[in-house]
Structure 1
Amino acid sequence: MKKSLLVLLSVASFSCSVKKVSDTPKSEVPKIEEVIFKPSFTAVEIDTLLSEKLSIRAICIDSNKVWYAANNGNYGYLNLNGGKNFVGNIVKDTLKLEFRSIAQTKDNIFILSIGNPGLLYRISKDEKEAQLVYQEKGEKVFYDAINFFNDKDGIAVGDPTEDCFSLITTNDGGQTWKKKSCKNVPKVADGEAFFAASNTNINIKGDKIWIASGGKKSNIFYSGDKGKSWHVITTPIIQGSEMTGMFSADFYNEKIGFATGGDYEKPNQNFGNKIITVDGGKTWNLVGENEGYGYGSCVQFVPGSNGNELLTVGASGVFYSYDQGKKWKKIADYKDLFTIRFIDSKTAIAAGNKKILKIRFK
């Protein structure tokens, strides 16, 4: 099934400018530079790549393939070049497995289930093997996101089972995983956990990692050494109840980052739900107050946009910003998308309830 939708945008209504004082000696007259923000496209075309009875919250781009992890033990990939697609299914006893996390190395895909027991599978990209590489049982077990630093070192985060968040790591390409002791992981506040909304709680740039929590407390856990040491950074995003806080974060580079979420139980509330950092996550500020969307499930920077352009999906639809989140424009009315990833600056893949879409910017 394939469906196309063309959305025209007005460049004139989207452009704006701000004044910036450049660094100059105090004895000189400051030079005023004009920074112009404007959209990099004027139209959006959306095609349906998959229409099935699946709930998909985790996708990753592997060259010309889009791998996905879904509910009822399902996973697979779509071939973007018109080649064959692949559908896999994992059965474990009588469990109804729901995979909300996915990551990859050069040769393998990793999918991680939520709930008790937590099950992590390694899927060979040649489709020949699906191996259980980690499992954890316990009433409080709930893993939310997974990511890799490189082809050897990986990390996954989950809700606390003790007084710290759950953290499992690998150093051998995902063959074996170990859970970190609370002696080496920051403690969490009462009611603080993570959301398995779009597999974007974990952001990695080089050896640096930022993990976004949510709930009654919503903090950034930062490490500059692959998780050996940690710093806890407070944020101004709305928090205080079980379903508030950060649901998603993305870093354009080691300095510019953006996080979103809000109040899941008040999906149209569009304040307190967008925050930005320009100093590597040391400080965060609210942005786009009473602008654009409400609850956001996933946010991603547009590649090659100098950290200016953003795309979000969530309960209000698909929204785009050209000025680091100050102003927003709805570009599509899909309200049941959970996650997005960019292939390049002109193409993104979005997934959610019963669908995977390709979004092209022209």
Structure 2
Amino acid sequence: MKEIFIALFAICAGAQNHKINFETKVLSATQLSCRALYVDNDKVWLGMDKGRYGYYDKKTDSLYIHTVASVHPTTEFRSIAVTKSAVFILAVGNPAKLIKIDKATLQEQLVYTEEHEKVFYDSMQFVDELNGFAMGDPTSDCFSFLSTSDGGLSWQKTSCEKLPKLIEGEAAFATSNTNLIIRGKSIMMVSGGKQSRVFVSTDFGKSWDVYPTPIVQGEEMTGIFTADFYNEKIGIVAGGNYLKQNQNWANKAVTTDGGITWKCVADSSAFGYASCVQFVPNSKGKKIVSVGGTGVYYSKDFGINWIQLADDKDWYTFRFESDRVGYATGKNKLIRFELK
């Protein structure tokens, strides 16, 4: 049974004049774990646990869930990407299976499989109707990096000879499908663990530069868990220490030069561990929302100051539909929210 809950917050942060109304509505409380979400025109597509995907139909206010026939029932789909005609979901573990789903018929097609004891894919994005990319943890000494140029019908894995090297213990976290960001011709990938770095290509992956960040690093569960870029220059990375989720220093940093240099913001204040961070559309890169282990937070000044919108710790990922409306999901819930 679907449960509906509406919360309205009028929040003012004094000197910073952070005043905003925040309204949330629980669209579904179905038992699920979801870290992959895409807001389409009339649907919100979801990649889930237990070998499932689904979509929320905005017109009928209904959630539909399907089980993929060609995967094991313990499969988790934590990456999702969408074209005009198809939805793509990518499993995290071994074997990694990439499924193409026809939007009109919901027909499923297995378009890529990879078997390796270390295989673990984290994020996937399409640039246009033909070109898409996916990235994951290393099976050798570089990120796993997939590409397609035929609309997702076939995928190729890039050789480590053409990619930057990772150090032992450096990888990525599949928390919200935000380890891989594409803006214009620029591709940005982020790492965590023993090092927290940003990998930048300005030519669709033909060449790469690697830049350090001040995000906490050195342990298995530290580093960058999420990133977003407003355009090719303005970006934010966030994360922290998953095992110490209240730790709020060296866990958020911003760039204005395409990821070359980074500066920590709101050190020892605002949120701790973050699983997903997103720029508000049409905000000139000033407004940002973050979700994670210490709640939902909002900034209107490029991350310098933050206010807490909600203390819900079960939001894993979210995306905006507009500069006011967005959808979030996580543990046993799908939520529509609005900034006013």
Q: TM-score, normalised by structure 1?
A: 0.91
Give the letter for the 2:192 counterpart.
G
* Matches of 1:246 and 1:270, distance apart in 2: 13
Asked if residue 300 in structure 1 is aligned to residue 278 in structure 2, the reply is yes
Matching residue of 2:262: 284
Matching residue of 1:260: 238
Matching residue of 2:165: 187
* Matches of 1:350 and 1:237, distance apart in 2: 25
Asked if residue 79 in structure 1 is aligned to residue 57 in structure 2, the reply is yes
Of 337, 345, 348, the residue aligned with 2:323 is 345
- 8 A Cα contact 1:151 1:173, kept in partner: yes
- Mark the runs of 5 or more structure 1 residues left unpaired by the alignment: 16-38
Q: Say if 1:265 and 1:234 are closer, same or farther in 2 by CA, change over 3 A.
A: same
- Mark the runs of 5 or more structure 2 residues left unpaired by the alignment: none
Deviations along 1:104-154, one digit per CA (max 9) or x if unpaired, are: 111111000011000100011114311110000010111110001111111
* Matches of 1:297 and 1:196, distance apart in 2: 9
- 8 A Cα contact 1:11 1:42, kept in partner: no
Asked if residue 231 in structure 1 is aligned to residue 209 in structure 2, the reply is yes
Query: What is the Cα deviation at residue 46 of structure 1?
Result: 0.5
Identity in percent: 46
Asked if residue 149 in structure 1 is aligned to residue 127 in structure 2, the reply is yes
* Matches of 2:61 and 2:254, distance apart in 1: 40
- 8 A Cα contact 2:180 2:187, kept in partner: yes
Query: What is the Cα deviation at residue 95 of structure 1?
Result: 4.8
- Give the match's secondary structure for 2:321: strand
Matching residue of 2:12: 10
Q: How many residues align?
A: 338
- 8 A Cα contact 1:291 1:326, kept in partner: no
* Matches of 1:98 and 1:310, distance apart in 2: 28
- Give the match's secondary structure for 2:271: coil
Query: What is the Cα deviation at residue 270 of structure 1?
Result: 0.4
Asked if residue 116 in structure 1 is aligned to residue 94 in structure 2, the reply is yes
Q: TM-score, normalised by structure 2?
A: 0.97
- 8 A Cα contact 1:303 1:344, kept in partner: yes
Of 46, 57, 66, the residue aligned with 2:24 is 46
Query: What is the Cα deviation at residue 94 of structure 1?
Result: 4.4
- Give the match's secondary structure for 1:183: helix
Root-mean-square deviation (CA), in Å? 1.3
- Give the match's secondary structure for 1:163: coil
- 8 A Cα contact 1:208 1:225, kept in partner: yes
Asked if residue 322 in structure 1 is aligned to residue 300 in structure 2, the reply is yes
Matching residue of 1:178: 156
Asked if residue 221 in structure 1 is aligned to residue 199 in structure 2, the reply is yes
* Matches of 1:345 and 1:172, distance apart in 2: 32
More displaced stretch, 234-243 vs 92-101: 92-101
